[in-house]
Homo-oligomer: A and B are copies of this chain.
């Protein structure tokens, strides 16, 4: 159950930044929780693919994952969370804060995102495609992306605030975070809508080129 790398890690094996946080020594309790989360999500995606998001009830998911509905609600507060929550936020935040402080924020985002996405796609491309395709298809999920709590807007805003070393964001920071958040969401959704055929790095590049140019030509 913890049979990871019995000998030595391949020197150049690309490490999955998300999975990496799971390698830390965990208690039995925490390992079980993690496993349950994964099982629930896997069963949920399977059922969503088979019957559609709206036609799948939480009871069915709980039954498939072999837990009680009560427990399901403890793991995922809402049905949307099954699709919308992930463990990327701290990684993205760290990557953004790693960029040089003087760099324009748009440039920081472009560089950090392209790097992260490339790494991520090597490991979780299929799951990401499944999730994002669901988001494009189910209106409730698309709206949920902008729900308070873990929206991309809030992530960008917290980074902007921290970079500036201030306590409360300015209005300009809010607008910037909102616009970049919506634009990057659009990039990922466009990628998923085409089943990942278009290179997502290209899409992100075009997105930020547009933002930097002040929407020239539109």
A215 with B211, Cβ < 8 A, contacts A147-B139, A147-B143 known:
yes
- Cβ of B214 and Cβ of A212 under 8 Å apart? yes
A146 with B149, Cβ < 8 A, contacts A178-B182, A179-B182 known:
no
- Cβ of A105 and Cβ of B146 under 8 Å apart? no
Interface range on chain A: under 10, 10 to 19, 20 to 34, or 35 or more?
Answer: 35 or more
Q: Give, as a whole number of angstroms, the nearest-CB distance from A171 to chain B.
A: 6
Which residues of chain A from 154 to 197 have any CB-CB distance to chain B below 8 Å in the complex? Answer: 160, 171-176, 178-183, 185-187, 190
A206 at the interface (CB under 8 A from B): yes
A56 at the interface (CB under 8 A from B): no
- Cβ of B147 and Cβ of A142 under 8 Å apart? yes
A92 at the interface (CB under 8 A from B): no
A178 with B172, Cβ < 8 A, contacts A148-B142, A212-B214 known:
no
Q: Give, as a whole number of angstroms, the nearest-CB distance from A70 to chain B.
A: 22
A105 with B215, Cβ < 8 A, contacts A146-B145, A148-B142, A182-B182 known:
yes
Which residues of chain A from 27 to 72 have any CB-CB distance to chain B below 8 Å in the complex? Answer: none
Chain B hits for A207, CB < 8 A: 175
Chain B hits for A190, CB < 8 A: 171, 174
| Docked complex Cα distance between A179 and B185 (Å) | 10
Chain B hits for A153, CB < 8 A: 182
Chain B hits for A215, CB < 8 A: 104-106, 176, 179-180, 211-212
| Docked complex Cα distance between A214 and B148 (Å) | 26
| Docked complex Cα distance between A213 and B213 (Å) | 7
List A residues at the B interface (Cβ < 8 Å).
104-106, 139-140, 142-149, 153, 160, 171-176, 178-183, 185-187, 190, 203, 206-207, 210-218
